[in-house]
Structure 1
Amino acid sequence: MRTTCLDQPDVPSDNNTAARGIRPAVIIRKNSYGNRSERGADCQSALRSVFRTLKQRGHDPIRTIVRCLGNLPENRPASPSF
């Protein structure tokens, strides 16, 4: 049993923060009837991670991604994985 919360009062004794963090992804998966492939699940997982990290750092995820994509050079060949 982990007792970090007893040694460090600033550490919560529950995992509510983690549970709240994954809840939106679970709801999206439920409403879209799940991921249809392993590749789709990997893509959703990666995008969710990027969006969540940007939000936690105080950035607007959509605006940030659009800005990043706008900075890519034109006529760049597509990645072979797509």
Structure 2
Amino acid sequence: MLRNALEPWHILVVVLVVVVLFGSKKLPDTARALGKSMRILKSEAKAMKDEGGAEAGPVVPPAPAATVDNVTPATAAHPADSPR
């Protein structure tokens, strides 16, 4: 029964119904928006796949801690200046 469910004339009827419902003016905009959405989906999926592989990659060392040598004089606090 479902063997020949999608014959060429079925596709033609579906296309005709879509054109009648949405109009021929909106179809290019709709197709463009669908294509843009597909590109975004592909790029996000690729980014997630690359991000998953990056976890096993090289480890980035942490930034060096602030010391008295690399603190600017305007923000450096001296023990003699602190209130008692």
TM-score after normalising by structure 1:
0.28
